[in-house]
Structure 1
Amino acid sequence: MAEILDVAKYFILLSEPNTKRNITHLKLQKLVYYAHAWNLALYQEPLFLDDIEAWVHGPVIPELYDAYREYGYTEIYYSNDLPGNTEDLMNNEIDIIEATWEMYGQYSGKYLENLTHLENPWINARQGQDYYDHGNNIIENQDIQEYYAARLQGDN
Protein backbone atom coordinates (compact mmCIF):
# COMPACT_ATOMS: atom_id res chain seq x y z
CA MET A 1 0.00 0.00 0.00
CA ALA A 2 1.23 3.46 -0.90
CA GLU A 3 2.22 6.24 1.46
CA ILE A 4 0.27 9.46 0.95
CA LEU A 5 3.35 11.64 0.47
CA ASP A 6 4.75 9.25 -2.15
CA VAL A 7 1.49 9.48 -4.12
CA ALA A 8 1.48 13.27 -3.88
CA LYS A 9 5.09 13.57 -4.99
CA TYR A 10 4.40 11.42 -8.04
CA PHE A 11 1.53 13.71 -9.07
CA ILE A 12 3.87 16.68 -8.74
CA LEU A 13 6.43 14.84 -10.89
CA LEU A 14 3.76 14.44 -13.61
CA SER A 15 2.73 18.10 -13.53
CA GLU A 16 3.63 20.59 -16.23
CA PRO A 17 4.67 23.90 -14.62
CA ASN A 18 3.23 27.14 -15.95
CA THR A 19 0.47 25.37 -17.89
CA LYS A 20 -3.07 24.36 -16.97
CA ARG A 21 -1.59 20.94 -16.14
CA ASN A 22 0.29 22.44 -13.20
CA ILE A 23 -0.25 21.56 -9.52
CA THR A 24 -1.42 23.64 -6.59
CA HIS A 25 -2.11 22.37 -3.09
CA LEU A 26 -5.87 22.37 -3.72
CA LYS A 27 -5.48 20.43 -6.96
CA LEU A 28 -3.05 17.99 -5.34
CA GLN A 29 -5.56 17.15 -2.59
CA LYS A 30 -8.27 16.40 -5.14
CA LEU A 31 -6.01 14.34 -7.43
CA VAL A 32 -4.87 12.19 -4.52
CA TYR A 33 -8.50 11.73 -3.48
CA TYR A 34 -9.55 10.69 -6.99
CA ALA A 35 -6.66 8.23 -7.31
CA HIS A 36 -7.74 6.67 -4.01
CA ALA A 37 -11.39 6.61 -5.11
CA TRP A 38 -10.72 4.88 -8.42
CA ASN A 39 -8.37 2.40 -6.75
CA LEU A 40 -11.18 1.49 -4.35
CA ALA A 41 -13.67 1.16 -7.22
CA LEU A 42 -11.42 -0.91 -9.46
CA TYR A 43 -9.52 -3.07 -6.98
CA GLN A 44 -11.65 -2.92 -3.80
CA GLU A 45 -8.68 -1.76 -1.75
CA PRO A 46 -7.48 1.65 -0.63
CA LEU A 47 -4.50 3.27 -2.30
CA PHE A 48 -3.31 4.53 1.10
CA LEU A 49 -4.45 4.21 4.73
CA ASP A 50 -4.81 7.89 5.64
CA ASP A 51 -8.27 9.20 6.51
CA ILE A 52 -9.90 11.60 4.09
CA GLU A 53 -11.90 14.39 5.70
CA ALA A 54 -14.81 16.34 4.21
CA TRP A 55 -13.60 19.92 4.49
CA VAL A 56 -15.42 22.92 3.09
CA HIS A 57 -13.18 22.92 -0.02
CA GLY A 58 -13.71 19.21 -0.65
CA PRO A 59 -11.88 16.05 0.40
CA VAL A 60 -8.66 16.66 2.33
CA ILE A 61 -6.01 14.32 3.74
CA PRO A 62 -4.71 16.09 6.88
CA GLU A 63 -1.13 14.74 6.62
CA LEU A 64 -0.93 15.98 3.04
CA TYR A 65 -2.43 19.30 4.07
CA ASP A 66 0.22 19.74 6.75
CA ALA A 67 3.02 18.85 4.32
CA TYR A 68 1.95 21.32 1.60
CA ARG A 69 -0.01 24.06 3.40
CA GLU A 70 2.88 26.53 3.00
CA TYR A 71 2.21 26.63 -0.76
CA GLY A 72 -1.24 28.13 -0.32
CA TYR A 73 -2.64 28.78 -3.79
CA THR A 74 0.73 28.94 -5.53
CA GLU A 75 2.05 26.40 -7.98
CA ILE A 76 4.13 23.54 -6.60
CA TYR A 77 7.26 22.65 -8.56
CA TYR A 78 8.88 19.23 -8.42
CA SER A 79 12.02 18.90 -6.35
CA ASN A 80 13.80 15.94 -4.80
CA ASP A 81 13.51 17.86 -1.52
CA LEU A 82 9.71 17.48 -1.45
CA PRO A 83 8.43 14.98 1.11
CA GLY A 84 7.89 11.43 -0.11
CA ASN A 85 9.73 8.95 -2.27
CA THR A 86 8.30 8.03 -5.66
CA GLU A 87 10.65 5.04 -5.90
CA ASP A 88 8.66 3.32 -3.14
CA LEU A 89 5.52 3.15 -5.31
CA MET A 90 4.48 -0.18 -6.83
CA ASN A 91 3.69 -0.43 -10.56
CA ASN A 92 -0.06 -0.80 -9.95
CA GLU A 93 0.00 2.33 -7.76
CA ILE A 94 1.85 4.27 -10.45
CA ASP A 95 -0.70 3.06 -13.02
CA ILE A 96 -3.67 4.42 -11.03
CA ILE A 97 -1.86 7.71 -10.37
CA GLU A 98 -1.05 8.13 -14.07
CA ALA A 99 -4.60 7.21 -15.12
CA THR A 100 -5.99 9.73 -12.62
CA TRP A 101 -3.61 12.38 -13.96
CA GLU A 102 -4.77 11.68 -17.52
CA MET A 103 -8.41 11.98 -16.46
CA TYR A 104 -8.17 15.05 -14.20
CA GLY A 105 -4.78 16.70 -14.72
CA GLN A 106 -6.03 19.38 -17.10
CA TYR A 107 -8.51 20.77 -14.56
CA SER A 108 -7.88 23.45 -11.96
CA GLY A 109 -8.05 22.77 -8.25
CA LYS A 110 -11.21 24.88 -8.02
CA TYR A 111 -12.88 22.89 -10.79
CA LEU A 112 -12.01 19.62 -9.03
CA GLU A 113 -13.26 21.04 -5.73
CA ASN A 114 -16.59 21.88 -7.35
CA LEU A 115 -16.72 18.41 -8.90
CA THR A 116 -16.25 16.71 -5.51
CA HIS A 117 -19.06 18.88 -4.11
CA LEU A 118 -21.45 17.23 -6.59
CA GLU A 119 -20.51 13.69 -5.53
CA ASN A 120 -22.17 11.65 -2.80
CA PRO A 121 -19.15 10.69 -0.67
CA TRP A 122 -18.38 14.33 0.18
CA ILE A 123 -22.07 15.29 0.38
CA ASN A 124 -22.85 12.41 2.76
CA ALA A 125 -19.90 13.18 5.02
CA ARG A 126 -20.96 16.85 5.23
CA GLN A 127 -24.56 16.10 6.28
CA GLY A 128 -25.67 18.19 9.22
CA GLN A 129 -23.10 20.92 8.56
CA ASP A 130 -23.62 24.32 7.05
CA TYR A 131 -21.84 24.75 3.74
CA TYR A 132 -19.05 26.91 5.18
CA ASP A 133 -18.55 24.99 8.44
CA HIS A 134 -14.94 23.84 8.72
CA GLY A 135 -15.86 20.24 9.54
CA ASN A 136 -13.57 17.24 9.60
CA ASN A 137 -15.95 14.31 9.21
CA ILE A 138 -14.33 11.25 7.67
CA ILE A 139 -15.35 10.30 4.13
CA GLU A 140 -15.70 6.56 4.60
CA ASN A 141 -13.90 4.26 2.17
CA GLN A 142 -17.05 2.18 1.79
CA ASP A 143 -19.00 5.24 0.60
CA ILE A 144 -16.20 6.12 -1.80
CA GLN A 145 -15.96 2.58 -3.15
CA GLU A 146 -19.72 2.18 -3.64
CA TYR A 147 -20.09 5.54 -5.38
CA TYR A 148 -17.21 5.15 -7.83
CA ALA A 149 -17.94 1.46 -8.50
CA ALA A 150 -21.47 2.52 -9.45
CA ARG A 151 -19.99 5.14 -11.79
CA LEU A 152 -17.95 2.41 -13.45
CA GLN A 153 -21.18 0.52 -14.00
CA GLY A 154 -22.87 3.64 -15.38
CA ASP A 155 -25.26 3.98 -12.43
CA ASN A 156 -24.26 7.56 -11.48
Structure 2
Amino acid sequence: MAYPTIAVANAFIEKAQQGFLPDLDPMKLQKLIFYAQSWHLRLYNEPLVDDFFAKWPYGPVIPSLYHEVKRYGSKPITNLISNVSWKGDDMVIVTPTIPHCDQKTTALIDKIIEVYGPLRGTQLSYLTHQEGTAWSETEKEGAVIPNDMLAKHIK
Protein backbone atom coordinates (compact mmCIF):
# COMPACT_ATOMS: atom_id res chain seq x y z
CA MET A 1 0.00 0.00 0.00
CA ALA A 2 1.46 3.33 -1.02
CA TYR A 3 1.32 6.18 1.46
CA PRO A 4 0.64 9.82 0.69
CA THR A 5 3.99 11.49 0.03
CA ILE A 6 3.39 13.86 2.93
CA ALA A 7 3.06 10.93 5.37
CA VAL A 8 6.49 9.63 4.35
CA ALA A 9 7.93 13.16 4.42
CA ASN A 10 6.55 13.58 7.94
CA ALA A 11 8.27 10.34 9.01
CA PHE A 12 11.62 11.83 7.98
CA ILE A 13 10.76 15.20 9.55
CA GLU A 14 9.87 13.46 12.85
CA LYS A 15 13.26 11.71 12.82
CA ALA A 16 14.95 15.08 12.26
CA GLN A 17 12.98 16.62 15.12
CA GLN A 18 14.12 13.74 17.35
CA GLY A 19 17.76 14.40 16.45
CA PHE A 20 18.27 11.29 14.29
CA LEU A 21 18.57 13.14 10.97
CA PRO A 22 20.79 16.23 10.72
CA ASP A 23 20.20 19.17 8.39
CA LEU A 24 16.92 18.04 6.82
CA ASP A 25 16.33 20.74 4.22
CA PRO A 26 13.92 20.40 1.28
CA MET A 27 16.57 19.02 -1.11
CA LYS A 28 17.68 16.38 1.36
CA LEU A 29 14.08 15.40 2.09
CA GLN A 30 13.36 14.92 -1.63
CA LYS A 31 16.42 12.74 -2.11
CA LEU A 32 15.76 10.63 0.99
CA ILE A 33 12.24 9.93 -0.24
CA PHE A 34 13.69 9.13 -3.67
CA TYR A 35 15.97 6.52 -2.13
CA ALA A 36 13.19 5.18 0.11
CA GLN A 37 10.86 4.85 -2.90
CA SER A 38 13.57 3.22 -5.03
CA TRP A 39 14.53 0.69 -2.38
CA HIS A 40 10.90 -0.06 -1.53
CA LEU A 41 10.19 -0.76 -5.19
CA ARG A 42 13.31 -2.93 -5.48
CA LEU A 43 12.72 -4.92 -2.29
CA TYR A 44 8.93 -5.23 -2.22
CA ASN A 45 7.93 -4.57 -5.84
CA GLU A 46 5.47 -1.89 -4.76
CA PRO A 47 5.69 1.88 -4.32
CA LEU A 48 6.11 3.49 -0.92
CA VAL A 49 4.61 6.83 -1.97
CA ASP A 50 1.59 7.47 -4.15
CA ASP A 51 3.21 10.22 -6.20
CA PHE A 52 5.85 10.41 -8.93
CA PHE A 53 9.35 11.78 -9.28
CA ALA A 54 10.27 14.14 -12.09
CA LYS A 55 13.71 14.87 -13.53
CA TRP A 56 14.65 18.33 -12.30
CA PRO A 57 18.06 20.00 -12.60
CA TYR A 58 19.12 19.14 -9.04
CA GLY A 59 17.87 15.58 -9.16
CA PRO A 60 14.61 13.72 -8.76
CA VAL A 61 11.78 15.77 -7.24
CA ILE A 62 8.17 15.13 -6.32
CA PRO A 63 6.66 18.43 -7.51
CA SER A 64 3.77 18.43 -5.03
CA LEU A 65 6.21 17.97 -2.12
CA TYR A 66 8.45 20.70 -3.51
CA HIS A 67 5.58 23.17 -3.23
CA GLU A 68 4.82 22.04 0.35
CA VAL A 69 8.34 22.73 1.64
CA LYS A 70 9.81 25.35 -0.72
CA ARG A 71 9.31 28.11 1.86
CA TYR A 72 12.23 26.62 3.82
CA GLY A 73 14.65 27.29 0.95
CA SER A 74 17.95 25.73 1.99
CA LYS A 75 17.16 25.90 5.71
CA PRO A 76 16.15 22.88 7.84
CA ILE A 77 12.50 21.87 7.85
CA THR A 78 11.18 22.46 11.35
CA ASN A 79 7.51 21.48 11.25
CA LEU A 80 5.45 18.52 10.13
CA ILE A 81 3.42 19.08 6.99
CA SER A 82 -0.32 19.49 7.47
CA ASN A 83 -3.16 20.09 5.06
CA VAL A 84 -6.65 21.46 5.35
CA SER A 85 -9.39 18.98 4.62
CA TRP A 86 -13.16 19.03 4.78
CA LYS A 87 -15.21 16.63 6.87
CA GLY A 88 -18.76 17.43 5.88
CA ASP A 89 -19.12 21.15 6.54
CA ASP A 90 -16.19 21.28 8.95
CA MET A 91 -12.67 22.27 8.03
CA VAL A 92 -10.04 20.10 9.74
CA ILE A 93 -6.26 20.13 9.81
CA VAL A 94 -4.78 16.77 8.83
CA THR A 95 -1.16 15.76 9.44
CA PRO A 96 -0.58 12.51 7.52
CA THR A 97 1.73 10.01 9.19
CA ILE A 98 2.82 6.40 8.86
CA PRO A 99 1.27 4.21 11.55
CA HIS A 100 3.80 3.10 14.17
CA CYS A 101 2.58 -0.48 13.70
CA ASP A 102 3.98 -0.52 10.12
CA GLN A 103 7.32 -1.92 11.16
CA LYS A 104 8.40 -2.76 7.58
CA THR A 105 8.15 0.87 6.49
CA THR A 106 9.64 2.18 9.72
CA ALA A 107 12.61 -0.18 9.35
CA LEU A 108 13.17 0.93 5.76
CA ILE A 109 13.07 4.61 6.72
CA ASP A 110 15.51 3.94 9.56
CA LYS A 111 17.86 2.16 7.13
CA ILE A 112 17.64 5.00 4.61
CA ILE A 113 18.54 7.43 7.41
CA GLU A 114 21.44 5.22 8.50
CA VAL A 115 22.89 5.00 4.98
CA TYR A 116 22.01 8.36 3.42
CA GLY A 117 21.15 10.54 6.43
CA PRO A 118 24.70 11.74 7.20
CA LEU A 119 25.00 13.25 3.71
CA ARG A 120 23.92 16.79 2.82
CA GLY A 121 21.21 17.41 0.23
CA THR A 122 23.81 18.56 -2.29
CA GLN A 123 25.78 15.34 -1.83
CA LEU A 124 22.64 13.26 -2.31
CA SER A 125 21.81 15.29 -5.42
CA TYR A 126 25.29 14.53 -6.76
CA LEU A 127 24.70 10.80 -6.20
CA THR A 128 21.42 10.90 -8.13
CA HIS A 129 23.27 12.42 -11.12
CA GLN A 130 25.76 9.56 -11.47
CA GLU A 131 25.82 7.54 -14.67
CA GLY A 132 23.36 4.66 -14.61
CA THR A 133 20.90 6.22 -12.17
CA ALA A 134 17.19 6.55 -12.91
CA TRP A 135 17.62 10.33 -13.06
CA SER A 136 20.49 10.11 -15.57
CA GLU A 137 18.60 7.57 -17.71
CA THR A 138 15.53 9.82 -17.96
CA GLU A 139 16.05 11.84 -21.12
CA LYS A 140 13.96 14.99 -20.84
CA GLU A 141 14.09 17.50 -18.01
CA GLY A 142 10.70 17.67 -16.31
CA ALA A 143 9.77 14.15 -17.42
CA VAL A 144 8.34 11.63 -14.99
CA ILE A 145 10.85 9.03 -13.85
CA PRO A 146 8.94 5.72 -14.07
CA ASN A 147 8.85 3.53 -10.97
CA ASP A 148 10.29 0.58 -12.89
CA MET A 149 13.38 2.68 -13.57
CA LEU A 150 13.69 3.55 -9.87
CA ALA A 151 13.69 -0.14 -8.97
CA LYS A 152 15.99 -1.16 -11.83
CA HIS A 153 18.69 1.44 -11.26
CA ILE A 154 19.03 1.47 -7.46
CA LYS A 155 22.22 -0.19 -6.27
Normalising by the smaller structure, the TM-score range is 0.7 to 0.9
In 2, distance between residues paired with 1:103 and 1:12?
16
Aligned length: 140
Q: CA deviation at 1:5?
A: 0.3
Give 4+ residue runs of structure 1 displaced > 3 Å after superposition: 16-20
The structure whose residues are more often strand, as a share, is 2
The residue identity in structure 2 corresponding to 1:56 is: P
Structure 1 length as normaliser, TM-score? 0.81
Larger CA deviation: 138-147 vs 90-99: 90-99
Number of the residue aligned with 2:148 = 142
Over aligned residues, Cα RMSD in angstroms? 2.1
Structure 2 length as normaliser, TM-score? 0.82
Partner of 1:59: helix, strand, or coil?
Answer: strand
Question: Which residues of structure 2 form unaligned runs of 5+?
Answer: 83-94
Q: CA deviation at 1:22?
A: 2.0
- Distance change (3 Å), C-alpha of 1:92 and 1:114: same
Q: Percent identity of the aligned residues?
A: 31
Partner of 2:22: helix, strand, or coil?
Answer: coil
1:3 partnered with 2:4:
yes
Q: CA deviation at 1:116?
A: 0.3
Question: Which residues of structure 1 form unaligned runs of 5+?
Answer: 130-134, 152-156
The structure whose residues are more often helix, as a share, is 1
1:86 partnered with 2:92:
no
In 2, distance between residues paired with 1:137 and 1:115?
19
